[in-house]
Chains A and B, each alone.
Chain A
């Protein structure tokens, strides 16, 4: 088993703290690193990949330090967020060069295998500069996989992919984690992506580890927090009195042309709303969740 361990890791740039006292262990399987933009996900991944020194604490990959230890890259592959690939090379040349730089016994065979995993064989002899974003991403995954690493880190792997490419990449990551037992960590700022992919989630907000563990648990934390809805209907006042009778509703404010409703349980309230409106003969014209931005979800998590 190859794990990535961060113990009390902080990283700061001058006065700016990018990662603040994070302790976590990533074991085999698929783990999502979730957080809003600028939360420090990339910094965490770069610390794990030995591309940044921790200002404090230790980062171990398979028991060995990640920083100033090139030998560690035998067990680790990284796909960066920045889409930097030498466009003048073909995918074949690029992946083959990676295999050779890893000093593999049979680089050509390893390159063929890696390109087959990401299904890039058909386009492998074209220059990378002619590829679509998804193809580039797959090429970079192939290069990161060429030495069959036990640990694979991917920074925002789904950014800019179309739904089909996304699905393909998700299936790929799933297979590598479940069937091949690799330790795979990917970062994302989109909750739904993480939900579809991974049972385990590490949530980073403002450089701190805000939540950690099974995504269903975290999801529940997120859905049982207070929610605010803006609702308009054929009879706002009647609806307000009906809603106040609901246990999931904590407050209703009547405004010109709309109701502001506070609910403490997203699921219960949304199910009850339609039912109650229908029973009392009120027609709903709009229901808008007021605070559904992910940043708010995250900041709620930090506050609890």
Chain B
């Protein structure tokens, strides 16, 4: 970890207009929760839709995508990455510092509204579960999207394909695809801790934790390796 990199990354991230994109989604989540709570419908009928299908399946991954692809990706886009690359720093230090910022920002931006919504729905244990699930999911997603931002020129597009096609379409047709879905891991963790009808999950807790760890390690190591031999594109191409 490097405090200088963390400090500049936080300033760069929160100083950009892109960060405002994080605001509307939590508002929708809290709004829908209020409607759910005040309606006569059973918890099990609206809860999984709001917390699972919206909270953990849309808000968490999209927040992670915006943040995770920005922390290093924007510097690569505008060329300021050379300032970091021309320093005698282990590349792992750069990647870990960037990942730390993305993780904390995503966890706060997705976890806090989820916890607030769970408290409105009257489940303290679900609030705890959702925050932990957001933390786990945020780390796995951010590691993935951070790696994508070093590996491809279009991390947001590739990330969206993963979220939309893999996690939302493929998973509903092919059971095995769940194992490689961060959203399923996060949902499982929140469901096991929360233990309420507001959420349901389909993967075992062990699988979720092991696979999340795989995402985190592969993403971080992949990003570091790629950054080690990061070739700057000059005038020649």
Contacts and interface: CB of A to CB of B under 8 A. Distances in A.
B211 to A, nearest CB: 31
A53 B229 contact: yes
Interface in A34-66: 37-38, 40, 42-43, 46, 49-53
A70 B89 contact: yes
Interface in B190-237: 228-232, 234-237
B82 A42 contact: no
Nearest to A73: B88
A271 interface: no
Contacts of A51: 82, 85-86, 230-232
A143 B87 contact: no
Given A13-B237, A42-B236, A88 B82 contact: no
A42 B4 contact: no
Contacts of A132: none
B83 interface: yes
A53 B87 contact: no
Contact of A53 (B15, B83, B85, B231): B231
A15 to B, nearest CB: 11
B91 to A, nearest CB: 7
B12 interface: yes
**Interface size class of chain B, counting residues whose CB lies under 8 Å from the partner chain:** 20 to 34
A73 B86 contact: yes
Contacts of B231: 51-53
Given A70-B89, A78-B82, A97-B4, A43 B235 contact: yes
A97 B89 CA distance: 13
Interface string B1-45: 010110110011001000000000000000000000000000000
A82 B4 contact: no
Nearest to A153: B86
**Interface size class of chain A, counting residues whose CB lies under 8 Å from the partner chain:** 35 or more
A68 B8 contact: no
Interface-central residue, A72, A76, A82, by most chain B CB under 10 Å: A82
Given A42-B235, A101-B87, A80 B8 contact: no
Contacts of A76: 86
Nearest to B5: A101
B91 A70 contact: yes
Interface string B69-98: 000000000111011111111110000000
A46 B80 contact: no
B231 to A, nearest CB: 5
A106 interface: no
B234 A43 contact: yes
Contact of A70 (B15, B79, B87, B232): B87
Contact of B232 (A46, A72, A143): A46
A49 B236 contact: no
Contacts of B2: 101
Nearest to A75: B88
B237 A16 contact: yes
Contact of A86 (B8, B89, B232): B8
Contact of B4 (A16, A38, A70, A100): A100
Contacts of B232: 46, 51-52
A50 B84 CA distance: 13
Interface in A1-58: 11, 13, 16, 18, 37-38, 40, 42-43, 46, 49-53
A85 interface: yes
A103 interface: yes
A232 interface: no
A76 B228 CA distance: 17
A138 B80 CA distance: 16
B4 A43 contact: no
Contact of B228 (A68, A84, A144): A68
A37 B235 CA distance: 9
A157 interface: no
Contacts of A283: none
A100 B2 CA distance: 10
B83 to A, nearest CB: 7
A71 interface: yes
Nearest to B230: A51
Given A52-B234, A68-B229, A84-B80, A77 B86 contact: yes
B12 A98 contact: no
Nearest to A72: B88
Contacts of B82: 51, 78, 80, 82, 84
Given A51-B86, A70-B90, A144-B86, 11 more contacts: A11-B236, A51-B230, A52-B234, A71-B88, A78-B86, A84-B80, A84-B83, A86-B80, A86-B83, A101-B5, A143-B83
Interface of A: 11, 13, 16, 18, 37-38, 40, 42-43, 46, 49-53, 67-68, 70-74, 76-78, 80, 82, 84-86, 88-89, 97-98, 100-103, 143-144
12 contacts: A38-B236, A40-B236, A51-B86, A70-B88, A76-B86, A77-B86, A78-B86, A98-B87, A102-B87, A102-B88, A103-B88, A144-B86
